[in-house]
Amino acid sequence: MKNLKLKSARAALDLSQQQLADLVGVSRQTVNAIEKGDYNPTIKLCTAICKALGKTLDDLFWEE
């Protein structure tokens, strides 16, 4: 399932996939795969992404 919440939060801060990847210490391809739903990130990576975007785990990773 695509993670449109992550993509939207990243875009709202005007960050590219590469910029977010640099902030959290992964490759751009990893960020792309998370947004496409092709990769299930570790909780450590999820929390790093949330901190970088100023969001909570529920905001970005909880499925409704």
**CATH no. for residue 27?**
1.10.260.40
Tokens, residue 10: 């990243």
Q: How many helices (H) and strands (E) does the chain have?
A: 5, 0
Which residues have C-beta within 8 Å of that of residue 51, sequence separation ≥ 6? none
Is residue 9 over pLDDT 90? yes
Q: How does pLDDT run across 48-57, given as a tens digit for each residue? A: 999 999 999 9
Its domain, for residue 11, covers: 4-61
Tokens of 64: 């409704």
Per-residue pLDDT averaged across 21-25, rounded?
98
How many domains is the chain partitioned into structurally?
1
